[in-house]
Amino acid sequence: MTTLTAQPNRIAQYWALTKPRVTQLAVFCAVIGMFLATPGLPDWHIVIAATIGIWLLAGAAFAVNCLVEREIDSRMARTARRPMASGEISVPQTLVFSGIIGGIGMWVLYNLVNPLTMWLTFATFVGYAVIYTIILKPSTPQNIVIGGLSGAMPPALGWAAIANDVPMQAWILVLIIFIWTPPHFWALAMYRRDDYAKSGLPMLPITHGMKFTQFHIWLYTIALVATTTLPFAVRMSGLIYLISALILGVVFLWYAWQIYKHYTDLIARKTFTYSIIYLSLLFAALLVDHYFPF
Protein backbone atom coordinates (compact mmCIF):
# COMPACT_ATOMS: atom_id res chain seq x y z
CA MET A 1 0.00 0.00 0.00
CA THR A 2 2.86 2.40 0.83
CA THR A 3 4.44 1.84 -2.59
CA LEU A 4 1.12 2.36 -4.38
CA THR A 5 0.47 5.66 -2.61
CA ALA A 6 4.07 6.86 -2.91
CA GLN A 7 4.07 6.62 -6.71
CA PRO A 8 1.11 9.00 -7.29
CA ASN A 9 2.62 11.39 -4.75
CA ARG A 10 5.91 11.40 -6.65
CA ILE A 11 4.10 12.05 -9.92
CA ALA A 12 2.22 14.93 -8.28
CA GLN A 13 5.52 16.37 -7.06
CA TYR A 14 7.02 16.37 -10.53
CA TRP A 15 3.78 17.79 -11.90
CA ALA A 16 4.00 20.62 -9.33
CA LEU A 17 7.52 21.45 -10.55
CA THR A 18 6.02 22.52 -13.89
CA LYS A 19 3.76 25.12 -12.19
CA PRO A 20 0.71 23.76 -14.04
CA ARG A 21 -1.64 26.69 -13.42
CA VAL A 22 0.83 29.19 -14.87
CA THR A 23 1.68 26.81 -17.71
CA GLN A 24 -2.01 26.39 -18.59
CA LEU A 25 -2.49 30.13 -19.08
CA ALA A 26 0.66 30.37 -21.21
CA VAL A 27 -0.37 27.42 -23.38
CA PHE A 28 -3.90 28.82 -23.70
CA CYS A 29 -2.46 32.06 -25.14
CA ALA A 30 -0.26 30.02 -27.48
CA VAL A 31 -3.25 28.04 -28.74
CA ILE A 32 -5.16 31.28 -29.39
CA GLY A 33 -2.17 32.42 -31.43
CA MET A 34 -2.41 29.22 -33.50
CA PHE A 35 -6.05 29.85 -34.37
CA LEU A 36 -5.50 33.53 -35.15
CA ALA A 37 -2.63 32.68 -37.53
CA THR A 38 -4.96 31.32 -40.22
CA PRO A 39 -8.31 32.50 -41.68
CA GLY A 40 -9.82 29.04 -41.29
CA LEU A 41 -9.17 26.25 -38.85
CA PRO A 42 -5.52 25.30 -38.33
CA ASP A 43 -4.19 21.80 -38.99
CA TRP A 44 -5.17 19.93 -35.84
CA HIS A 45 -2.08 17.70 -36.07
CA ILE A 46 0.12 20.77 -35.75
CA VAL A 47 -2.09 22.28 -33.03
CA ILE A 48 -1.74 19.15 -30.89
CA ALA A 49 2.00 18.77 -31.53
CA ALA A 50 2.70 22.45 -30.88
CA THR A 51 0.61 22.45 -27.71
CA ILE A 52 2.49 19.42 -26.37
CA GLY A 53 5.90 20.81 -27.32
CA ILE A 54 5.28 24.28 -25.90
CA TRP A 55 3.78 22.79 -22.72
CA LEU A 56 6.80 20.53 -22.19
CA LEU A 57 9.36 23.31 -22.69
CA ALA A 58 7.39 25.67 -20.47
CA GLY A 59 7.25 22.98 -17.79
CA ALA A 60 11.00 22.45 -18.11
CA ALA A 61 11.63 26.18 -17.64
CA PHE A 62 9.44 26.29 -14.53
CA ALA A 63 11.25 23.24 -13.11
CA VAL A 64 14.57 25.07 -13.51
CA ASN A 65 12.97 28.10 -11.85
CA CYS A 66 11.97 25.94 -8.87
CA LEU A 67 15.51 24.57 -8.69
CA VAL A 68 17.22 27.95 -8.74
CA GLU A 69 14.78 29.49 -6.23
CA ARG A 70 14.45 26.52 -3.87
CA GLU A 71 16.05 28.36 -0.92
CA ILE A 72 14.04 31.51 -1.59
CA ASP A 73 10.84 29.46 -1.91
CA SER A 74 11.52 27.76 1.42
CA ARG A 75 11.41 31.16 3.17
CA MET A 76 8.03 32.13 1.71
CA ALA A 77 4.71 30.80 2.98
CA ARG A 78 3.24 30.85 -0.55
CA THR A 79 5.96 28.62 -2.00
CA ALA A 80 7.35 26.64 0.95
CA ARG A 81 5.41 23.52 -0.08
CA ARG A 82 6.93 23.34 -3.55
CA PRO A 83 8.74 20.00 -3.99
CA MET A 84 12.23 21.47 -4.19
CA ALA A 85 11.68 23.97 -1.39
CA SER A 86 10.51 21.17 0.91
CA GLY A 87 13.31 18.83 -0.17
CA GLU A 88 10.97 16.20 -1.62
CA ILE A 89 12.81 16.24 -4.96
CA SER A 90 16.58 16.58 -5.26
CA VAL A 91 18.64 18.82 -7.54
CA PRO A 92 19.81 15.93 -9.80
CA GLN A 93 16.25 14.64 -10.12
CA THR A 94 15.00 18.08 -11.14
CA LEU A 95 17.79 18.54 -13.67
CA VAL A 96 17.11 15.14 -15.23
CA PHE A 97 13.34 15.77 -15.27
CA SER A 98 13.74 19.22 -16.85
CA GLY A 99 16.23 17.89 -19.38
CA ILE A 100 13.97 15.01 -20.40
CA ILE A 101 10.73 16.95 -20.84
CA GLY A 102 12.56 19.90 -22.40
CA GLY A 103 14.38 17.63 -24.83
CA ILE A 104 11.17 15.85 -25.80
CA GLY A 105 9.48 19.21 -26.27
CA MET A 106 12.24 20.43 -28.58
CA TRP A 107 12.12 17.20 -30.60
CA VAL A 108 8.33 17.46 -30.98
CA LEU A 109 8.48 21.10 -32.09
CA TYR A 110 11.38 20.61 -34.50
CA ASN A 111 10.10 17.43 -36.16
CA LEU A 112 6.33 17.72 -35.93
CA VAL A 113 5.85 21.50 -36.12
CA ASN A 114 8.73 23.55 -37.57
CA PRO A 115 12.26 24.64 -36.58
CA LEU A 116 11.23 28.29 -36.13
CA THR A 117 8.79 27.39 -33.37
CA MET A 118 11.37 25.17 -31.68
CA TRP A 119 14.05 27.87 -31.65
CA LEU A 120 11.64 30.58 -30.49
CA THR A 121 10.36 28.34 -27.69
CA PHE A 122 13.91 27.40 -26.71
CA ALA A 123 14.84 31.10 -26.63
CA THR A 124 11.83 31.69 -24.38
CA PHE A 125 13.05 28.87 -22.13
CA VAL A 126 16.48 30.53 -21.86
CA GLY A 127 14.89 33.93 -21.30
CA TYR A 128 12.80 32.71 -18.39
CA ALA A 129 14.97 30.04 -16.79
CA VAL A 130 18.31 31.85 -17.15
CA ILE A 131 17.99 35.56 -17.92
CA TYR A 132 14.95 36.24 -15.71
CA THR A 133 15.33 33.67 -12.94
CA ILE A 134 19.11 33.70 -12.46
CA ILE A 135 20.13 37.20 -13.57
CA LEU A 136 17.25 39.68 -13.35
CA LYS A 137 15.01 38.50 -10.52
CA PRO A 138 17.61 38.70 -7.74
CA SER A 139 19.29 41.87 -9.01
CA THR A 140 16.70 44.51 -9.96
CA PRO A 141 13.18 45.56 -8.89
CA GLN A 142 12.42 45.92 -12.60
CA ASN A 143 12.88 42.16 -12.99
CA ILE A 144 9.26 41.50 -13.85
CA VAL A 145 9.24 44.30 -16.43
CA ILE A 146 12.43 43.35 -18.27
CA GLY A 147 11.95 39.63 -17.85
CA GLY A 148 8.30 39.84 -18.81
CA LEU A 149 9.15 39.38 -22.48
CA SER A 150 9.78 35.66 -22.05
CA GLY A 151 6.42 35.23 -20.34
CA ALA A 152 4.73 37.24 -23.10
CA MET A 153 5.97 35.04 -25.96
CA PRO A 154 3.30 32.26 -26.10
CA PRO A 155 1.07 33.95 -28.75
CA ALA A 156 4.11 34.35 -31.03
CA LEU A 157 5.05 30.71 -30.49
CA GLY A 158 1.56 29.58 -31.41
CA TRP A 159 1.46 31.85 -34.46
CA ALA A 160 4.84 30.56 -35.64
CA ALA A 161 3.65 26.97 -35.26
CA ILE A 162 0.90 27.46 -37.84
CA ALA A 163 2.27 30.17 -40.14
CA ASN A 164 6.01 29.45 -39.82
CA ASP A 165 6.28 33.21 -39.42
CA VAL A 166 5.83 35.84 -36.71
CA PRO A 167 4.15 38.90 -38.27
CA MET A 168 3.23 42.21 -36.66
CA GLN A 169 -0.12 40.87 -35.43
CA ALA A 170 1.61 38.23 -33.31
CA TRP A 171 3.93 40.81 -31.76
CA ILE A 172 0.92 42.95 -30.81
CA LEU A 173 -0.36 40.03 -28.75
CA VAL A 174 3.08 39.67 -27.18
CA LEU A 175 3.04 43.39 -26.35
CA ILE A 176 -0.35 43.07 -24.64
CA ILE A 177 0.90 40.32 -22.31
CA PHE A 178 4.18 42.18 -21.77
CA ILE A 179 2.34 45.26 -20.46
CA TRP A 180 -0.21 43.13 -18.56
CA THR A 181 2.53 41.37 -16.57
CA PRO A 182 3.66 44.20 -14.21
CA PRO A 183 0.23 45.12 -12.79
CA HIS A 184 -0.64 41.43 -12.58
CA PHE A 185 2.50 40.47 -10.68
CA TRP A 186 2.89 43.63 -8.58
CA ALA A 187 -0.64 43.13 -7.20
CA LEU A 188 0.55 39.75 -5.92
CA ALA A 189 3.82 41.21 -4.62
CA MET A 190 1.92 43.87 -2.67
CA TYR A 191 -0.33 41.60 -0.65
CA ARG A 192 2.53 39.11 -0.29
CA ARG A 193 5.07 41.82 0.61
CA ASP A 194 5.98 40.22 3.95
CA ASP A 195 6.82 36.99 2.14
CA TYR A 196 8.95 38.82 -0.41
CA ALA A 197 10.71 40.77 2.33
CA LYS A 198 11.76 37.43 3.84
CA SER A 199 12.84 36.10 0.46
CA GLY A 200 15.46 38.81 -0.10
CA LEU A 201 14.26 39.42 -3.65
CA PRO A 202 14.24 43.10 -4.70
CA MET A 203 10.53 43.35 -5.49
CA LEU A 204 9.16 46.82 -6.17
CA PRO A 205 6.96 47.13 -3.04
CA ILE A 206 10.01 46.30 -0.92
CA THR A 207 12.61 48.45 -2.67
CA HIS A 208 10.47 51.47 -3.59
CA GLY A 209 7.53 51.27 -1.21
CA MET A 210 3.82 50.64 -1.53
CA LYS A 211 2.79 54.09 -2.79
CA PHE A 212 5.30 53.94 -5.64
CA THR A 213 4.07 50.47 -6.64
CA GLN A 214 0.41 51.47 -6.40
CA PHE A 215 1.01 54.40 -8.76
CA HIS A 216 2.88 52.23 -11.26
CA ILE A 217 0.11 49.64 -11.26
CA TRP A 218 -2.28 52.44 -12.19
CA LEU A 219 0.03 53.71 -14.97
CA TYR A 220 0.64 50.26 -16.43
CA THR A 221 -3.07 49.48 -16.40
CA ILE A 222 -3.81 52.65 -18.38
CA ALA A 223 -1.10 51.65 -20.85
CA LEU A 224 -2.54 48.13 -21.01
CA VAL A 225 -6.05 49.28 -21.87
CA ALA A 226 -4.65 51.54 -24.59
CA THR A 227 -2.52 48.70 -25.98
CA THR A 228 -5.46 46.32 -26.16
CA THR A 229 -7.10 48.58 -28.75
CA LEU A 230 -4.24 47.92 -31.21
CA PRO A 231 -5.75 44.72 -32.70
CA PHE A 232 -8.79 46.76 -33.71
CA ALA A 233 -6.65 49.70 -34.90
CA VAL A 234 -4.65 47.52 -37.30
CA ARG A 235 -7.81 45.72 -38.50
CA MET A 236 -6.73 42.46 -36.91
CA SER A 237 -10.06 42.27 -35.07
CA GLY A 238 -13.48 43.87 -35.13
CA LEU A 239 -16.12 45.33 -32.85
CA ILE A 240 -16.74 42.19 -30.81
CA TYR A 241 -13.16 42.24 -29.63
CA LEU A 242 -13.01 46.03 -29.19
CA ILE A 243 -16.16 46.18 -27.05
CA SER A 244 -14.97 43.21 -24.99
CA ALA A 245 -11.52 44.73 -24.51
CA LEU A 246 -12.95 48.06 -23.38
CA ILE A 247 -15.40 46.50 -20.92
CA LEU A 248 -12.70 44.24 -19.47
CA GLY A 249 -10.31 47.19 -19.40
CA VAL A 250 -12.72 49.45 -17.51
CA VAL A 251 -13.04 46.80 -14.80
CA PHE A 252 -9.26 46.44 -14.63
CA LEU A 253 -8.92 50.23 -14.38
CA TRP A 254 -11.38 50.25 -11.50
CA TYR A 255 -9.32 47.67 -9.63
CA ALA A 256 -6.10 49.58 -10.36
CA TRP A 257 -7.67 52.84 -9.15
CA GLN A 258 -8.76 51.15 -5.93
CA ILE A 259 -5.19 49.95 -5.43
CA TYR A 260 -3.85 53.43 -6.12
CA LYS A 261 -6.24 55.40 -3.94
CA HIS A 262 -7.84 52.96 -1.49
CA TYR A 263 -5.33 50.16 -1.05
CA THR A 264 -6.09 47.08 1.02
CA ASP A 265 -4.56 43.62 0.79
CA LEU A 266 -8.00 42.32 -0.14
CA ILE A 267 -8.32 44.61 -3.17
CA ALA A 268 -4.78 43.65 -4.27
CA ARG A 269 -5.71 39.97 -4.01
CA LYS A 270 -8.90 40.57 -6.00
CA THR A 271 -6.93 42.53 -8.61
CA PHE A 272 -4.46 39.67 -9.02
CA THR A 273 -7.31 37.18 -9.45
CA TYR A 274 -9.13 39.44 -11.90
CA SER A 275 -5.96 40.00 -13.95
CA ILE A 276 -5.86 36.27 -14.76
CA ILE A 277 -9.55 36.24 -15.69
CA TYR A 278 -9.00 39.42 -17.70
CA LEU A 279 -6.25 37.98 -19.88
CA SER A 280 -8.15 34.75 -20.48
CA LEU A 281 -11.33 36.56 -21.52
CA LEU A 282 -9.41 39.08 -23.64
CA PHE A 283 -7.80 36.33 -25.70
CA ALA A 284 -11.06 34.40 -25.86
CA ALA A 285 -12.69 37.55 -27.29
CA LEU A 286 -9.97 37.68 -29.95
CA LEU A 287 -10.81 34.12 -30.93
CA VAL A 288 -14.58 34.71 -31.06
CA ASP A 289 -14.09 37.87 -33.10
CA HIS A 290 -11.75 36.00 -35.48
CA TYR A 291 -14.43 33.49 -36.46
CA PHE A 292 -17.54 35.62 -35.98
CA PRO A 293 -16.50 39.13 -37.12
CA PHE A 294 -18.93 41.98 -36.66
Q: What's the mean pLDDT when you consider all of the chain?
A: 91
Question: Do the domains spanning 1-165 and 167-294 agree at the CATH topology level?
Answer: no
Domain boundaries, the chain: 1-165, 167-294
pTM above 0.75, yes or no: yes
Mean pLDDT along residues 268-276: 97
Residue 127 DSSP label: I
Higher-scoring residue by pLDDT: 202, 225: 225
pLDDT at 7 (0 to 100): 53
- Cα separations in angstroms, 16 against 9, 20, 49, 83: 10, 7, 22, 7
In this predicted structure, the answer to whether residue 3 has a pLDDT above a threshold of 50 is: no
Angle between helices 168-191 and 20-36 (to 10 degrees): 160
Tens digits of per-residue pLDDT, 159-194?
999 999 999 999 999 999 999 999 999 999 999 998
What pLDDT shows up at residue 86? Answer: 81
Under the banding of pLDDT at 50, 70 and 90, the label for residue 2 is very low
Q: What's the pLDDT at 4?
A: 44
User: Tens of pLDDT along 273-287?
Assistant: 999 999 999 999 999
- Contact at 8 Å (CB) between 218 and 237? no
pLDDT at 5 over 70: no
Residue-level pLDDT at 112: 97
Q: At what angle do helices 115-126 and 154-163 cross, to 10 degrees?
A: 170
Please tell me the predicted confidence (pLDDT) of residue 75: 81
The pLDDT, as a whole number, for residue 202 is 87
pLDDT at 212 over 70: yes
* CATH classification for the domain delimited by 167-294, as one of 1.10.760, 1.20.120, 1.10.1040, 2.40.360: 1.20.120
pLDDT recorded at residue 145: 82
pLDDT reported for residue 264: 96
% of residues, the chain, pLDDT over 70: 97
Collect all residues with Cβ–Cβ distance below 8 Å to 129 and sequence separation of at least 6.
Answer: 60, 61, 64, 65, 68
Which pLDDT belongs to residue 32?
96
Q: CB count, 10 Å around CB of 292?
A: 9
Averaged over 244-253, what is the pLDDT?
A: 98
User: Does domain 1-165 bear CATH number 1.10.357.10?
Assistant: no
Residue 13 backbone dihedrals phi, psi, to 5 degrees? -65, -45
